[in-house]
Amino acid sequence: MGPLNVVGGHVALDLVNTVEPRVPGGTVGTDHLGTPDDLARWAVRGALLDDEEAERVRRAWTDGDGGARAHAATLEIREATYAVLLTQLGAADGANAALDVLVGHWRRAMGRSTLSFASTDDRLRVGTDPELVVPDRLAHAAVALLRTLDVRQLKACPLDEGGCGWLFLDRSRNGSRRWCSMGDCGTRAKSRRLTERRRGARSGVPQSS
């Protein structure tokens, strides 16, 4: 599996985008968070954990089923966040049930949370039980995103045009960003349109563009 691109513009969106393609109604695509190990690696790469915290998390996860619990909680938060965000994009179903799941995780995370200065700099970081610090921080992040989201900026890479369905914040001034990243889906869609046009030209069938 190649490296996972990070395009969302917010860690909660990058969490949603760990399934590829991202299709409403279930995780049918490649899941980049298939195991607790995948999750630990992703959390470090996305700066959700610093190296020292990652070490503590790994230690906590080697005992019993800590890793499995954190992994399961993370996937619940991910799918609930996705379902709630879809309603912001106009989908009608499932928002309340998903919101209940997310709020449940967020409240439990709050109950365990502390605030302290990080060892690497002077920034405050949310700490919790090392076993659950990853899902807890993600629950905080997801709620923070939903509370402050400018829905006009929220977009999905267009599945019906060959995109991947990933969610991202379009922060361009004129709101013109269409693809998760022009280097991936945008370029693929463009070359596909070109091929279709050439094929059409050869067969003499006029193509609409």
Query: What does the binding site for Zn ion look like in residue numbers (CB under 5 A)?
Result: 157, 163-164, 180, 185
CA angle 84/125/38 to nearest 5° reads 60
- φ, ψ of residue 38 to 5 degrees: the values are -55, -45
Residue among 186, 141, 138 nearest 166 (CA): 186
Kindly state the smallest distance separating residue 168's Cβ from Zn ion, in Å. 9
In this complex, which beta carbon is closest to Zn ion, that of residue 13 or of residue 164?
164
Kindly state the smallest distance separating residue 179's Cβ from Zn ion, in Å. 6
In this complex, which beta carbon is closest to Zn ion, that of residue 85 or of residue 99?
85
Kindly state the smallest distance separating residue 203's Cβ from Zn ion, in Å. 29
In this complex, which beta carbon is closest to Zn ion, that of residue 10 or of residue 137?
10
CA angle 174/156/141 to nearest 5° reads 95
Kindly state the smallest distance separating residue 16's Cβ from Zn ion, in Å. 13
Kindly state the smallest distance separating residue 166's Cβ from Zn ion, in Å. 5
In this complex, which beta carbon is closest to Zn ion, that of residue 12 or of residue 180?
180
In this complex, which beta carbon is closest to Zn ion, that of residue 36 or of residue 163?
163
The encoded tokens of residue 7 equal: 């395009």
The encoded tokens of residue 94 equal: 């499932």
The span from the CA of 107 to the CA of 178, in Å, is 35
- φ, ψ of residue 56 to 5 degrees: the values are -60, -40
